[in-house]
Amino acid sequence: MFGRISYLYRVTFESKDAVLKFTYMPVTQLPEGAVYQLLKESCKGLIPEVYASGVIAHEWSGYRPVFLITEYCGVAVDRFAQAQRSNYQTLDHVEGLICNAIKRSSNCIAKAYSVGVLHRNIAPKNILIKDECVKIVGWGSSRLRTDTEVNGIAALGRTWRFNTEAVLAEELQYDTVIYASSFTSIQVFLGTSSRDLMHDLESLFYVALHSLATFNGNVGDNKPSPYRPSLHEGRLTAAARIGCLSNEASYLQNFGVAGCHLAMAKVFDAMYRFLFFSSGVFIAGSFLTDPNRKRVRDVGVASGFMDSRLLLSPKEAGDLLVPLGQEITRAGGEASLVRADKRRNSDGDQNNPVAKRPRHME
């Protein structure tokens, strides 16, 4: 049995610009329309609005045809960045768009994870921009979390005619699948047995770097790039990517975005340290021997690129209500609050590794 097949069409639905998606999928896989129903409230404004959806037939030889009509959300983030280059937009303007894309996408990924959904296919084609509004699409490769109870899943199973237990068991087998090779996390390349939130955020990190590198003209068929891995050499690709990331002072240059302004660099650095450091130590090299290593989520570091409260459990979030104008940080291993406008960003701040580096434009 082969996997799902989808066909997309740009259409007009009730005078609105829309996308029609027909999917022919195994009955043991999770319907994309069911995912959108799960995320409707928690990710409102961060995912496309669904105009219509449903099951066309219960089963045809082990497959189920379904349809989905959603709002048209624009073009892929890297193509959008490339278009800004063609329109002679400034680096400042594009960096602002990418910072916004990082924040909105990170928040969406975290909100989806909190209600029990893991995207698994974060790539430029699934992060769309229209009128500078960013939304995540392409939830057809997502799966339900098995380590937490997903509210309302039984009702969704009845609506979309799938067996919940069968879907959970089947979708776990696809955790090792490389959906978008250029943006796949290191641990997935190395064969981790179970994906989680960190893998989606790592993919987003590569998407953002790639999009800015595209604007800079540093991505192309004739240019060496860490974004073009060899599918037949997953371990080699992982090792090469670890090498590109291993030097904090030069990783932006390795990914084609050297010379970005300080504000953009601070966002990249926050993601970089959140994803690849633990207690100040670079840990990505350890993935080569332990691809299943669980990464600790440091909410203090995450506050540099997203609403870090979304990484906390409901109880933790309740204990850390952050007033407007403040951010979560870490001090001595304990979560604490500090006003964002009190942070020192001068060149003389020895606790600010970003400020000391001459590679960024002020």
Q: Tens of pLDDT along 314-340? A: 666 655 544 433 443 333 333 333 323
> Residue 72: pLDDT above 80?
yes
Single pTM value for the model = 0.86
Are 257 and 361 contacting, i.e. CB atoms less than 8 angstroms apart? no
Are 209 and 268 contacting, i.e. CB atoms less than 8 angstroms apart? yes
- Nearest 10 degrees: Cα torsion 254, 257, 262, 266: -60
In eight-state DSSP terms, residue 179 is: S
pLDDT tens, residue by residue, 137-187: 999 999 999 888 888 888 999 999 888 888 888 877 777 777 777 899 999
Identify any residues that bridge with 210 across adjacent strands, giving them in sequence order.
Answer: none
Identify any residues that bridge with 336 across adjacent strands, giving them in sequence order.
Answer: 329
Q: What is the distance between the alpha carbons of residues 50 and 228, in angstroms, rounded to a whole number? A: 34
pLDDT tens, residue by residue, 176-218: 777 777 899 999 999 998 889 999 999 999 999 999 999 998 8
> Residue 347: pLDDT above 90?
no
Average pLDDT, stretch 16-44? Answer: 95
Residue 15, phi-psi category: left (phi > 0), alpha (psi -120 to 50), beta (remainder): left
3-state secondary structure of 96: helix
Above pLDDT 90, what percent of the chain?
62
- What the block records as the tokens of 189 is 């390349």
pLDDT of residue 233: 64
pLDDT of residue 318: 58
**Unique residue bearing structure tokens 């799966």:** 143
Are 173 and 146 contacting, i.e. CB atoms less than 8 angstroms apart? no
